[in-house]
Structure 1
Amino acid sequence: MQRRAATAALATALLLTAGCSSDGGGAPDGDRSTPASTPARSSPPQRDAEQGPPAKGTVTVVRTVATGLDSPWGLAPLPGGGLLVSSRDDATITRIDEKTGRKTELGEVPGVVPEGEGGLLGIALSPGFASDHMVYAYFTSASDNRVVRMLYDAKKPAGEQLGAPDTVFRGIPKGFVHNGGRIAFGPDRMLYVGTGESGDTSLSQDKKSLGGKILRLTPEGEPAPGNPFPDSPVYSYGHRNVQGLAWDGKQRLFAAEFGQNTWDELNAIEPGGNYGWPEAEGRSDDAQYRSPLAQWGTDEASPSGIAFAAGSVWMAGLRGERLWRVPLKGTGAAADPQAFLEGDHGRLRTVVAAGGDRLWLTTSNTDGRGDPKDGDDRILELRVT
């Protein structure tokens, strides 16, 4: 399927967008505006007493699983084998045979309006997928960003295997940039949703707004029991544009997000925590804001998906074109972040744990900001330590 016209115009349009780093990294050349309050640097959050992994790790590209993908964004492994991949700009979900690389388009998701960084974004399987066969998706519509769920029926013909979307949650602010989009079911079987402030920085500190937040919902889209604010889906706030969600072996949540001009962040998420945007970018001495456990210059990261494996968080970098390893010691970094695959495969979008020491990793060179090569975009299988 041909990409929509919005993708072809994306690179040009983004040059006209001021004060925005999003998945391109820092602001466009000539526009290096900074927040009104520039925070001072401080030490990372206190580590606990757990023993962390080795300071240095390794990454081996085992094989290329699939090629020829168009603007891949979300990735969900299927029980028993196979991968579901969402196309941001085509608004389709495709099943990949992980052994042969064969692609089967399941269908186009109706109601998606791709524009800029919006479109069909994150996908996740229901925690009861074995019995209910539900696939959840986050997408940009004509009016908002929303979460839907669809029945996946593998017995139907190709192109007809997705049922009509049922809206689970709506009203998340949309914009040409900063649409968030990562969704994941946590160990508690609740649905976590990373949102962006859609270019309006005032939304992040407004606890009544859904923009610039991590939301925690029941599978039916209601505020989850035990959320920090009564009758609210908001789990944490003060975010700019959350792009990655993952849990460690002790069920602690971590999130990656884009900075503006100075610092991209990896955060350990606490219920009710305020992560500072737009008053703080990166580490801050102000005790009301939670500092990231690791931060990067925007040209080194522009972080997207994250996964936990081998005692570390693995973070895909878009503008940085590399995979970062952050060894953990509790909710702090056990050692300095370590970069792999720098420039080898271009922009990297989504990384997902594949079990044991394996990861799935998608490239993102057909998203309007990359330099696509023959075969892009790809899914790679990695072995990590």
Structure 2
Amino acid sequence: MGAVGAAAVLGLVVGCSSGGGGDGGASPPAKEPGSPSATAAVRVAGTLTEDLKSPWGVAALPGGDLLVSSRDERTITRVDAKTGEKSLVGEVPGVVPGGEGGLLGLAVRDGWVYAYFTAESDNRIVRMRYGGGSGDRLGAPEVVLSGIPKGNVHNGGRIAFGPDGMLYAGTGERGETGLAQSVGSLGGKILRMTPEGEPAPGNPFPGSVVYSLGHRNVQGLAWDADGRLWAAEFGQNTWDELNLIEPGKNYGWPKVEGRAGVSDFVDPVAQWRTAEASPSGIAYAGDAIWMAGLRGERLWRIPLSGAERSGDPEAFFVEEYGRLRTVLAAGDGRLWLTTSETDTRGTPAPGDDKILRLEVR
């Protein structure tokens, strides 16, 4: 289904803001943040672990245990999915933390741990051998892709393997807005590559890893049951976005922010005022996209099907757990959710940061 069709299915949803959608149409009535849904709800079933420092990326190992990156400490920690016990598996060499940069997204595939991080001169993706057994340590990093523009802000950082076996990465434009519209730059893009970092077969721009352009700062990637790619994106001052990604399409930044109805650009399927979202990680579970909010301090649910009214987004845990960074599907109606109070922008409480165990029903 194309982006326009998906937008129709979702009723051109907007966030719980009275500011309108910027598209000249009336906004559907909004649910109160955190109000219960007639068809779905989510609850915190417990805390898996706590006392994490600047957690950013989370990836599941084949057995279910989690790997968690520390943005500022440059380390990757293994968390037992049953007991919450933490064990350090290694420090990633070459990481240069600063501002929004550091050790960011993680992905796991075929005995490799992939990491997106900010280096001295750029953002890059490396992979390291990891056996996955108790006491195993990370191997030496092997560069998969380098040359992604870095800055104090807008470093992107989310990576994930798609259903096609290719590696996808969301990047930012480091505050240099023109990079988002340049096909020759890796900044402000979604990238698609082989596990070795080569342009993936069928990419829209021959010889390039660029998959889509016109992004400000992509922070979340997830695929639904139909294999469609969704991406969460930081807006500037007006609208944060959830986009349905199609190869070669232009999502408008910096020409437009949010829905504009301009034929050259793809409008977001859903948008929010920046105070309600500042979206980070997203996950697909239960016919919905779940989106963690940093500044918004809430977990958004955006239904993709079913009889819910116009597919309105709804919010859970509003200001209950502080800034929320990453949400990860765990199967069987479960989600993992990380807080992000130790990222220099939060107000850490005892035990921060945490991984929460969620149950969807």
TM, length-normalised to structure 2 = 0.88
Cα offset, 1:274, TM superposition = 0.4
Q: Report the equivalent of 2:326.
A: 350
Mapped partners of 1:266, 1:358: distance in 2: 22
User: Is 2:301 aligned against 1:325?
Assistant: yes
Mapped partners of 2:239, 2:331: distance in 1: 31
Q: Is the 8 A contact 1:41 1:282 kept in 2?
A: no
Cα offset, 1:153, TM superposition = 3.2
User: Is 2:194 aligned against 1:218?
Assistant: yes
Q: AA paired with 1:319?
A: R
Cα offset, 1:157, TM superposition = 4.5
Q: AA paired with 2:104?
A: L
Mapped partners of 2:64, 2:116: distance in 1: 23
Cα offset, 1:77, TM superposition = 1.1
Q: Is the 8 A contact 2:221 2:282 kept in 1?
A: yes
User: Is 2:123 aligned against 1:145?
Assistant: yes
Cα offset, 1:78, TM superposition = 1.1
Cα offset, 1:305, TM superposition = 0.2
Aligned residues: 330
Q: AA paired with 2:48?
A: V
**3-state SS of paired residue (1:204):** helix
Unaligned runs of 5+ in 1: 1-38, 45-53
1:32-47 → structure 2 map (5 Å cutoff): 40-41=22-23
Q: Report the equivalent of 2:219.
A: 243
Question: 1:237–1:42: structure 2 CA closer, same or farther, 3 Å change rule?
Answer: farther
Cα offset, 1:41, TM superposition = 1.8
Cα offset, 1:57, TM superposition = 2.2
Mapped partners of 1:58, 1:65: distance in 2: 20
Q: AA paired with 1:144?
A: D
**3-state SS of paired residue (2:150):** coil
Q: Is the 8 A contact 1:66 1:98 kept in 2?
A: no
Mapped partners of 1:242, 1:368: distance in 2: 20
Question: 1:70–1:286: structure 2 CA closer, same or farther, 3 Å change rule?
Answer: same
- Out of 297, 311, 323, the residue aligned to residue 335 of structure 1 is 311
TM, length-normalised to structure 1 = 0.83
Q: Report the equivalent of 2:105.
A: 122
User: Is 2:359 aligned against 1:379?
Assistant: no
**3-state SS of paired residue (1:299):** helix
Q: Is the 8 A contact 1:203 1:212 kept in 2?
A: yes
- Out of 54, 58, 82, the residue aligned to residue 71 of structure 1 is 54
- Identical positions, percent: 66
Deviations, residues 259-301 of structure 1 (Å, cap 9, x unaligned): 0000000000011110000011000121111011100000000
Q: Is the 8 A contact 1:43 1:283 kept in 2?
A: no
Cα offset, 1:56, TM superposition = 4.5
User: RMSD across aligned C-alpha pairs, in angstroms?
Assistant: 1.8
**3-state SS of paired residue (2:253):** coil
Unaligned runs of 5+ in 2: 1-20, 27-36
Q: Is the 8 A contact 1:144 1:174 kept in 2?
A: yes
Q: Report the equivalent of 2:254.
A: 278
1:133-212 → structure 2 map (5 Å cutoff): 133-154=111-132, 157=135, 161-212=137-188
